[in-house]
C-alpha cells in the first residue's frame, strides 16, 4: 500500500513517520528519499533510528504531544506514515490541529490502524473517545463499517485545514481481520 502510494506522487516526498520502530519500513521504502522526520518512544529504538538515518530528524518521545506542540511544523512533509500499535486518531487530531502551519498542495497518508481489534473485543465504541462523534452518528457498532467510518472521519479532520479527499483505498487484514490499512491522497481546496 505504501509503495503504491509513493508511486502516485509526482515528486519525492518528505516523510513524517510517526512510529519508527526498528526502521524496517524505512529500509524498504524511504531510505532513498529526501531527509524526513521520525518519532519513537522507545529509547533503544530511537537510538537505532538515529544511527540508521543520520540526515533525518529523529525524535525520542510521544509523537502526539510533540506534533500538537508544533515540533514538525517547519518540516515540509508531504507523506505521513502512521503506524501506531493501536489507533491513529489522536495523532491525526494532533496533525490537523496545526492549522497555522504551511501545508503542501498534496498530502499522502498511509495508516496501519489497530482500533478495529479493540472495537471487536470491547463490543462497541462508546468507550473509545476518538470514536465519540461517529458513535453518536451511527450507533455503538462501528466495526461492521469501520473502513467507511475511517474515510468519513479522515475527510472531516483533514478538512479542518482545507484538504479534500482525492483518493482513498483500504482493507482489513491481520489475524481475524482485526487490523485496518488505508491510504489517502489529500489535496488543498
Quick check: 67 and 94 in contact, CB under 8 A? yes
As a whole number, mean pLDDT of residues 93-106 equals 94
- pTM for this entry: 0.93
Task: Report the alpha-carbon distance of residue 183 to residue 101 in Å, rounded.
Answer: 22
Could you tell me which of 112, 16, 19 has the C-alpha nearest to residue 71?
16
| Domain boundaries of the chain, sorted by first residue | 2-188
Strand pairing report for 79-82 and 57-60: unpaired
Residue 143: predicted pLDDT: 81
**For residue 8, what is the DSSP state?**
H
Neighbours of 163 (CB within 10 A): 24
As a whole number, mean pLDDT of residues 104-124 equals 85
Beta pairing partners, 171: 181
What is the CATH number that goes with domain 2-188?
3.40.50.150
Task: Report the alpha-carbon distance of residue 161 to residue 182 in Å, rounded.
Answer: 20
Indicate the average pLDDT of the chain: 93
Residue 35: predicted pLDDT: 97
Give the tens place of pLDDT for each residue, 61-72. 999 999 999 999
Quick check: 14 and 81 in contact, CB under 8 A? no
Quick check: 130 and 136 in contact, CB under 8 A? no
Residue 178: predicted pLDDT: 87
Within 8 A by CB and 6+ apart from 147, the residues are: 170, 171, 172, 180, 182
Give the tens place of pLDDT for each residue, 11-54. 999 999 999 999 999 999 999 999 999 999 999 999 999 999 99
Amino acid at each position: 500500500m505504501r509503495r503504491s502510494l509513493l508511486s502516485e506522487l509526482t515528486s519525492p516526498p518528505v516523510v513524517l513517520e510517526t512510529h519508527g520502530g526498528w526502521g524496517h519500513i524505512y529500509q524498504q521504502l524511504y531510505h532513498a528519499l529526501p531527509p524526513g522526520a521520525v518519532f519513537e518512544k522507545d529509547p533503544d529504538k530511537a537510538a537505532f533510528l538515529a544511527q540508521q538515518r543520520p540526515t533525518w530528524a529523529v525524535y525520542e518521545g510521544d509523537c502526539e504531544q510533540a506534533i500538537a506542540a508544533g515540533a514538525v511544523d517547519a518540516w515540509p512533509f508531504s507523506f505521513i506514515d502512521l503506524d501506531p500499535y493501536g489507533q491513529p486518531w489522536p495523532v491525526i487530531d494532533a496533525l490537523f490541529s496545526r492549522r497555522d502551519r504551511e501545508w503542501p498542495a498534496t498530502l499522502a497518508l498511509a495508516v496501519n490502524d489497530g482500533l478495529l481489534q479493540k472495537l471487536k473485543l470491547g463490543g462497541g465504541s462508546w468507550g473509545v473517545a476518538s470514536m465519540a462523534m461517529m458513535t453518536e452518528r451511527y450507533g455503538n457498532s462501528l466495526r461492521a463499517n469501520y473502513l467507511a467510518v475511517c474515510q468519513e472521519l479522515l475527510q472531516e479532520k483533514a478538512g479542518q485545514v482545507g484538504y479534500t479527499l482525492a483518493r482513498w483505498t483500504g482493507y482489513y487484514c491481520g489475524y481475524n481481520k482485526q487490523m485496518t490499512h488505508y491510504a489517502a491522497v489529500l489535496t488543498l481546496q
